[in-house]
């Protein structure tokens, strides 16, 4: 492996701290000049109260230009300080979060200046909704890849999960059964992935791509063959109704965003917590990571490498399948051809962006979900930015991340390499 690492290109060693500082300064400049100086006259108004909420929160009205300019100036100063001062890990991250938040705020101000008020709560609600399949897909990726199996088949797992969820929920009239079978369907594709990757040692990148094509072809075929003619019986499931968590759901702003959603959001919370704790706080996770980093060593101490990999891949498929089901019975109900529309690949991107950690992946998935939600919501208020660019954002961000400008994103060492017991 050292040999292979040595093969890697001669890296251009840019001081990472300076590079990040440079990006901060650039963002600050964009805040100031683009969002600040080019903001339309008039205030950006954010509404925080949904219709029928118990507690009403006053609207926030910001003068778009000056606010963006202020944020921009502050960001530039932060960036310059960042270049000069060595910070420990936590303040470093805080500065990063602050810069990104500042960018988002000034972007929203610019988008909304002089237009109809921006419904902040519903923007965040659709962010969460968009993030659910991304988070679950990314967790599937984490589970697989931490054990050493590359999972590009997330897209296929989402698609099969969505299909099975809709069809089973519709034909048996039980949403829970739909959720369950969506998960199983994702697991079935994962079994294919596991068997061909682990037993037959097919290259895992190829395998993932092929399985995605397979899932797309299969669901597309069955859709035309069975779901179109029998739309009423097979493809008109109900959808889960939002469940409001008592007390927490009544908190203004936060309540409707975080605690008033379908069961899928709560499953997602649980899944993130479980995968994070499982991978990093338990003996189980230590073993999984050992298998993903150095299978020979893991084998030597008696960990069953192949079994661990099979189990993790299938587990990942089950998780992604739930994410797939959320696309149908969690939101729109009926299944449509290629309903996952590349979200599996965004989930993959989120996992890479989050450096193969569940929490990082969740953060990235939320960010990506936010850009999708912006594309939908800002279109309706007539914001001056084409939605295509917002939809492009997750992918561009990932390219920047893997190019090492945002700190190198490193895969588990044995990721993608079949293990042969010698």
Partner 1 sequence: MTQQDTGPGGTVASDPPGTPEPAEGASSGTAEDARKAGLKGTEVAISLLNAVLEGSSAVVTFLAIVTAVIIGGLLIAFTSPTVLHAWSHLFSAPGSAFSQAWDVAASAYSAMFEGAIVNPHTVSAAFHGGSIAQIFNPLSETAVNATPLILAGLAVALAFRAGMFNIGATGQFIGGAMIAGWIGFAVHLPMIIHVVVAVIGGVVGGSIVGGFVGGLKARTGAHEVIVTIMLNYVMEYLILFLLGLAVFRAPGLPNPVSPPVATNATLPHLAGATLRINAGFLVALAAAFAVAWLLNRTTIGFELRTVGANPNAARAAGMSPERTWVTVMLICGGLAGLAGASVILGTDFALTPQIYGTYGIDAITVALLGRASPGGVVLAALLYGSLDAGSVTMQAQTQIPVDIATVIQALIVLFVAAPPFIREIYHLRGRRGGESGQLLAKGWSS
Residues forming contacts to partner 1 in the complex (CB under 8 A) are: 1, 3-12, 148, 150, 152, 196, 199-207, 209-214, 216-218, 220-226, 229, 342, 345, 348-349, 352, 386, 388-389, 391-392, 395-396, 398-399, 402-405, 410-418, 420-421
H/E stretch holding 157: helix 154-172
How near is the Cβ of 353 to partner 1 at its closest, in Å? 10
Indicate the residue among 48 and 370 with the shorter CB distance to partner 1: 370
How near is the Cβ of 222 to partner 1 at its closest, in Å? 7
Beta bridge partners of 45: 61
How near is the Cβ of 236 to partner 1 at its closest, in Å? 19
Question: Residues of 192-208 as b/e, b for ≥16 C-beta within 10 angstroms?
Answer: bbbebbbeeebebeebb
Indicate the residue among 384 and 386 with the shorter CB distance to partner 1: 386
Please identify which residue in the block is written with the tokens 């991340």.
401
Question: How far, in Å, CA of 176 to CA of 318, rounded?
Answer: 15
How near is the Cβ of 146 to partner 1 at its closest, in Å? 12
Question: How far, in Å, CA of 117 to CA of 169, rounded?
Answer: 38
3-state secondary structure 168-209: HHHHHCCHHHHHHHHHHHHHHHHHHHHHHHHHCCCCHHHHHH
Task: Provide the 8-state DSSP code for 248.
Answer: G
How near is the Cβ of 404 to partner 1 at its closest, in Å? 5
Indicate the residue among 253 and 381 with the shorter CB distance to partner 1: 381
Put residue 52 in one of left, alpha, beta given phi > 0 → left and psi -120 to 50 → alpha: left
Indicate the residue among 9 and 246 with the shorter CB distance to partner 1: 9
Indicate the residue among 5 and 88 with the shorter CB distance to partner 1: 5
Indicate the residue among 87 and 205 with the shorter CB distance to partner 1: 205
How near is the Cβ of 392 to partner 1 at its closest, in Å? 4
SS3 of residue 261 by DSSP: strand
Question: How far, in Å, CA of 360 to CA of 292, rounded?
Answer: 18
Indicate the residue among 195 and 248 with the shorter CB distance to partner 1: 195
How near is the Cβ of 10 to partner 1 at its closest, in Å? 7
């Amino acid at each position: 492996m050292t040999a292979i690492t040595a093969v890697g290109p001669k890296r251009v060693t840019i001081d990472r701290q300076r590079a990040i500082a440079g990006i901060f300064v650039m963002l600050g400049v964009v805040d100031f000049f683009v969002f600040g100086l080019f903001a339309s006259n008039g205030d950006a108004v954010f509404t925080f109260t949904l219709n029928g909420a118990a507690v009403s929160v006053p609207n926030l009205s910001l003068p778009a230009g000056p606010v963006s300019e202020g944020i921009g100036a502050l960001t530039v100063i932060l960036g310059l300080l960042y270049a000069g001062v060595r910070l420990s890990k936590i303040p470093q991250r805080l500065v990063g979060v602050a810069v990104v938040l500042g960018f988002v705020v000034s972007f929203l101000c610019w988008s909304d200046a002089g237009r109809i008020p921006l419904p902040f709560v519903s923007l965040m609600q659709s962010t969460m909704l968009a993030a659910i399949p991304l988070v679950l897909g990314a967790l599937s990726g984490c589970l697989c890849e931490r054990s050493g199996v590359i999972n590009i088949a997330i897209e296929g797992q989402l698609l099969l999960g969505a299909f099975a969820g809709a069809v089973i929920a519709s034909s048996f009239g039980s949403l829970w059964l739909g959720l369950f079978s969506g998960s199983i369907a994702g697991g079935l594709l994962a079994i294919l992935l596991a068997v061909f990757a682990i037993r037959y040692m097919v290259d895992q990148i190829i395998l993932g791509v092929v399985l995605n094509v397979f899932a797309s072809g299969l669901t597309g075929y069955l859709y035309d063959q069975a779901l179109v003619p029998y739309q009423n019986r097979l493809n008109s499931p109900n959808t889960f109704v939002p469940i409001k968590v008592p007390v927490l759901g009544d908190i203004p702003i936060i309540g409707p965003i975080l605690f008033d959603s379908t069961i899928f959001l709560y499953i997602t919370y649980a899944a993130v917590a479980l995968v994070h704790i499982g991978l990093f706080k338990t003996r189980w996770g230590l073993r999984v990571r050992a298998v993903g980093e150095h299978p020979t060593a893991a084998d030597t101490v008696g960990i069953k490498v192949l079994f661990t990999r099979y189990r993790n891949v299938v587990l990942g498929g089950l998780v992604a399948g739930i994410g797939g089901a959320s696309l149908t019975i969690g939101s729109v109900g009926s299944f449509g051809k290629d309903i996952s529309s590349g979200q599996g690949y965004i989930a993959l991107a989120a996992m890479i962006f989050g450096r193969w950690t569940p929490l990082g992946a969740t953060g990235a998935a939320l960010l990506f979900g936010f850009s999708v939600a912006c594309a939908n919501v800002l279109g309706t208020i007539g914001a001056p930015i084409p939605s295509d660019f917002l939809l492009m954002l997750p992918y561009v961000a990932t390219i920047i991340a893997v190019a090492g400008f945002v700190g190198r994103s490193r895969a588990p060492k044995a990721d993608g390499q079949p293990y042969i017991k010698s």
